[in-house]
């Protein structure tokens, strides 16, 4: 039975347990929502079909991503990320901030995209996302190509930047991000053969006050209220093009993140993470 919990309770339960394999915490980062499962002491099997069933908003718990916390031999803990379609992916900035808020203390987290450092609390969770990659093999793309102002396009979206920030992103700068029918064009770009591991699609415009206004079609999840890695990739692309200066505020439908980056440095993301409720279930109900 689900019940709201306070920040202090969540910290104590997450850090000191005992962990329970059938317990979960529902969280969101700017509306990008997650089911977080602490499996450090009791293993939880997560085949693709089960992750997809848990994420279903009609017959499951409902989330953009399922986050499975496991022990790590390389860091303080390991974070596995499953999109709503059940596929496991490399990185999720908003989810990493949520785990940072649960920890409430500095830590290193192992992900498929590499090891990231976190600190801060619910109001100002901070994640060091590591250095971005721009080489075409590292995105990855299906063929050699300059990843800045790429000579490709889909309808009115042309000349994008490609950036890997632990997962692959393509960024289009447009006059009005809200005017783009991203729900229609996003799936086409995500699954284009140019992207052998699919891609996250970002459309961004630069506001008069210097903020980046961003909307994201997430690979395997669709339109979301916010995407932390999308904000990082878009800020990096905008700074490379000298459209904005670091640090920059990125405004997403669910709220704002602050991204700091300079060439040769790591990306630092700061923003809120919100606890919603905790609950218990029998994972076998989901297949």
Parallel/antiparallel/unpaired status of strands 212-218 and 248-252: parallel
Out of 63, 92, 98, 232, pick the active-site residue: 92
d(CA 101, CA 97): 6
Tokens of 127: 């994640």
Tokens of 236: 């990096």
- Tell me if residue 98 is catalytic: no
Contact assessment for residue 251 and residue 231, using Cβ atoms and an 8 Å cutoff: no
Parallel/antiparallel/unpaired status of strands 114-119 and 153-154: unpaired
- Tell me if residue 63 is catalytic: no
What is the 3-class SS of 108-159, one letter each residue?
EEEECCEEEEEECCCCCEEEEEECCECCCCCCCCCCCCCCCCCCCEECCEEC
Nearest to 189 by CA among 170, 164, 175, 174: 170
C-alpha distances in Å from residue 18, one per residue of 15, 40, 103, 171: 9, 10, 15, 43
Out of 63, 98, 227, 232, pick the active-site residue: 227
Catalytic residues, by residue number, are: 92, 227
């Amino acid at each position: 039975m689900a019940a709201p919990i306070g920040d202090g309770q969540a910290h104590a339960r997450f850090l000191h347990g005992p962990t329970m394999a059938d317990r979960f915490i529902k969280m969101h980062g700017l509306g990008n929502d997650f089911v977080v499962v602490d499996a450090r002491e009791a293993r939880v099997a997560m085949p693709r079909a089960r992750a997809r069933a848990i994420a279903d908003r009609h017959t499951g718990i409902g989330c953009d991503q399922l986050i499975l916390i496991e022990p790590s031999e390389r860091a303080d803990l390991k974070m596995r990320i499953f999109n709503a379609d059940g596929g496991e992916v490399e990185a999720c900035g908003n989810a990493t901030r949520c785990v940072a808020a649960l920890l409430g203390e500095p830590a290193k987290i192992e992900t498929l995209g590499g090891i990231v450092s976190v600190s801060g609390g619910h109001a100002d969770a901070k994640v060091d996302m590591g250095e971005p990659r721009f080489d075409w093999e590292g995105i990855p793309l299906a063929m050699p190509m300059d990843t800045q102002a790429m000579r490709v396009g889909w309808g009115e979206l042309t000349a994008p930047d490609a950036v890997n920030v632990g997962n692959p992103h393509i960024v289009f700068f447009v006059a009005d991000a809200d005017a783009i029918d991203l729900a229609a064009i996003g799936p086409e770009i995500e699954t284009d053969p140019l992207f052998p591991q699919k891609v996250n699609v970002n459309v961004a415009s630069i506001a008069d006050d210097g903020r980046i206004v961003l909307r994201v079609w997430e690979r395997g999840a669709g339109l979301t209220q916010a995407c932390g890695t999308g904000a990082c990739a878009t800020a990096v692309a905008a700074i490379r093009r000298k459209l904005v200066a670091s640090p920059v505020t990125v405004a997403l439908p669910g709220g704002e993140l602050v991204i700091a980056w300079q060439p040769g440095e790591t990306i630092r993301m700061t923003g809120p993470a919100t606890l919603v409720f905790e609950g218990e279930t029998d994972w076998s109900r989901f297949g």
